[in-house]
C-alpha cells in the first residue's frame, strides 16, 4: 500500500461552506485520483478526524490502556511510560509525527 498525504484532501474539504460528511470525503478522494472503497473511506474519514480534532498519530497511544505518558522528542523519537520506565513506541503504532498520511488507499492512474 502507498501512503497517501491527507493534506490535499483537507484542502479540498476546507473549501466547503459546511462541515464535510463521508460523501464529501469520497468525492475528494476521487478528485485526488484515489480508489474509493467502503473500508478505505471509513479509514480515511477516521484519519482525517484524528488529525483535525484528535492528537493525530499519537491518538492510538493515548487511548491504549496502561500507558500513562507519551513523550515526543522529535518526529521519529516517541516514548511511552507504562509504569516500568520509558520504552520506545511499539511496532504497529504509527509514530512519525510529521506529515499526516493514510496508508490504505491506492491512487488510480
> Could you read off the pLDDT of 17-49 as tens digits, one per residue?
898 999 999 999 999 999 999 999 999 998 888
Find the helix or strand (DSSP H, E) in which 92 lies. Answer: none
For the beta carbon of residue 84, count every other beta carbon within 10 angstroms.
6
What is the rounded distance in angstroms from the CA atom of residue 76 to the CA atom of residue 98?
9
| Amino acid 67: pLDDT | 92
* pLDDT bucket at 2, cuts 50 / 70 / 90: low
Report pTM: 0.56
pLDDT tens, residue by residue, 60-80: 888 889 999 998 888 778 899
| Amino acid 99: pLDDT | 47
* 3-state SS track over 60-81: HHHHCCCCCEEEECCCCCEEEE
For the beta carbon of residue 55, count every other beta carbon within 10 angstroms.
13
Amino acid at each position: 500500500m502507498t501512503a497517501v498525504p491527507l493534506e490535499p484532501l483537507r484542502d479540498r474539504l476546507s473549501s466547503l461552506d459546511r462541515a464535510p460528511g463521508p460523501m464529501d470525503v469520497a468525492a475528494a478522494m476521487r478528485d485526488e485520483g484515489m480508489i474509493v472503497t467502503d473500508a478505505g473511506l471509513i479509514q480515511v474519514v477516521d484519519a482525517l478526524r484524528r488529525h483535525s480534532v484528535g492528537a493525530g498519530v499519537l491518538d492510538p497511544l493515548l487511548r491504549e490502556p496502561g500507558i500513562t505518558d507519551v513523550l515526543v522528542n522529535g518526529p521519529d523519537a516517541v516514548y511511552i511510560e507504562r509504569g516500568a520506565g520509558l520504552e520506545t513506541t511499539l511496532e504497529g503504532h504509527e509514530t512519525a509525527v510529521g506529515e499526516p498520511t493514510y496508508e490504505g488507499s491506492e491512487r488510480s492512474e
